[in-house]
Homo-oligomer: A and B are copies of this chain.
């Protein structure tokens, strides 16, 4: 992983390597497919996420380049700016979620949140497997619904590119994106204590 060391987090408190080393590349190695057993481990990791009432509202549509037609269909659901770089990744996942609880048909207010928990698990497992994940909100949602026939009680949400990052960029512009360091707001800006906006005394 040394060629991507500039992408490692610079944490102020110790965190797991797989969390520190996760980043979202724009440049994927188009020659390198994702091993089936690795992809299955990523999906299995998502499966064991927590969810409200154990609803497991997450749904994934997987498209790999093993089926070029399948891949093009998935790629066509991304916004154009994302298609440009994501076309070089070997695997795309379109995500969706069940918007109601199956037990009582009531709205699940946290379904989108719980999808995030599942995708977080997938990302961590992918990092452990030496893979790289880049999530996208830039998805043509109505197109996803139409192309795949997503029913009314489910909502398309995001897309995920999975593959192996490569240092060699597809274009100068994409090279610049992958060369920048990762930046995060300090804990003091968003970890509060007695009142909103008042930094926690823990820090």
Contact = CB atoms under 8 A, between A and B. Distances in A.
Nearest to A190: B59
Contacts of A24: 50
Given A58-B190, A60-B190, A192-B148, A158 B110 contact: yes
A27 interface: no
Contacts of A117: 116-117, 119-120, 123
A128 B13 CA distance: 14
Nearest to A200: B62
Contacts of A115: 113, 116
Nearest to A187: B43
Interface residues of A, number: 78
Interface in A143-176: 148-151, 154, 157-158
Contacts of A62: 191-193, 200, 202
B56 A185 contact: yes
A185 to B, nearest CB: 5
Contacts of A109: 137
A156 to B, nearest CB: 10
A99 interface: no
A3 interface: no
Interface string A189-202: 01111111100111
B70 A193 contact: yes
Interface in A46-96: 47-50, 52, 54, 56, 58-64, 67, 70, 73
